[in-house]
Amino acid sequence: MNRFLTPTRPLGLVVFVAVVAGFGSLMGASSAFGTSKPPSGASGASFQGLGQMPGSSCGTQALGISGDGSVIVGAGCVSSGNNEAFRWTAAGGYQVLGDLGGGSSDARAASFDGSVVVGQSTDASGTPRAYRWTAAQGMVALPLLPAGALSNEADAVTDDGTMVAGGNAWWKTSGQTGNFGSCSDAQISLPMADLSADGSVAAGSGPHGTPFVNDFFHTYRSTPAGNCQDIDPVGNRNSDARGISADGQVIVGEMQVGGPYLAWTYRLGRGVPSGPGARPDRTAN
């Protein structure tokens, strides 16, 4: 699963992590913010700076975390101006994962125990490629899409690390590949933002309405078989998915209702996206 949102701003901040009592060992990590103290009544919870990734000269950012909370993944900006992917643990600190030969990479998601990391890297020809990393194999390019195709990236991975998704495509360690399909009113393939723990459900967004004529973006729920469903019944508003729960029952994201974007949640069997200004007026299948 992809448990962090993909950033929309350049790397310019030092990584931090919210540390709870169960991860007290993180309190000894390098802090970019000085000594942090738990707020009153927080029972040991605090924010802890992790410092810069080794070799980073212009910022380090966390983009994902393993399901058990033991591994953080992301990217650091290096002297060349490119990003390099990293994997961080409390015991080992930063581990730079390298790249596919093009000098740039980022890590976007990790398996439940953090042993599998996925993201995007450029190859020796400068072409962006999706990849899967393990300690045994290192960084391996995936055939999610033909090299150089739009959205050739890995954004999410199942808890066991055997299925990777990026854009509208998915790949399994068995060699199977496929896509999440298009809803009847979607004009292009729908990029999926996240996977449920077992990969049986994906959440994403794409255009809704007449092609290239004041398109709105809607939230979609789909499966590896391409069973796509538009879960936003309101035609003239924008909505998109940012994450999905482990069991695939809950999707979260943002939507626009004649003004600023608002947060919403969707629960299977309990209706469409709901939030400030939205009304759960239809039950999902």
pLDDT, tens digit, 9 for 90 and up, residues 112-153: 999 999 999 999 999 899 999 999 999 999 987 766 565 688
Structure confidence by residue, pLDDT tens digits, 61-111: 999 999 999 999 999 999 778 999 999 999 999 999 999 999 999 999 999
Instruction: Give CA 125 to chain center in angstroms.
Output: 26
**Rounded average pLDDT over 141-170:** 86
Better pLDDT: 106 or 37: 106
Specify the 3-state DSSP secondary structure of 61: strand
Report whether 263 contacts 254 (CB < 8 A). yes
Q: Reduced to 3 states, what is the DSSP secondary structure of residue 146?
A: coil
Q: What is the pLDDT of residue 280?
A: 37
In angstroms, rounded to a whole number, what is the distance separating the alpha carbons of residues 118 and 3? 13
**Segments making up each domain of the chain, as ranges:** 1-171, 180-285
The model's pTM is: 0.79
CA dihedral of residues 70, 74, 77, 81 (deg, nearest 10)? 150
Q: Where is pLDDT greater, at 161 or 179?
A: 161
CA separation for the pair 252, 246 (Å, rounded): 12
Please give the average per-residue pLDDT across 194-219, as a whole number. 82
The predicted structure's pLDDT at residue 231: 87
Q: Are 201 and 224 a contacting pair, CB within 8 Å?
A: no
Q: Which residue has the higher pLDDT, 206 or 130?
A: 130
The residues pairing with 166 across neighbouring beta strands, listed in sequence order, are 169
List 45's β-bridge partners, or say none.
Answer: none
Length of the chain: 285
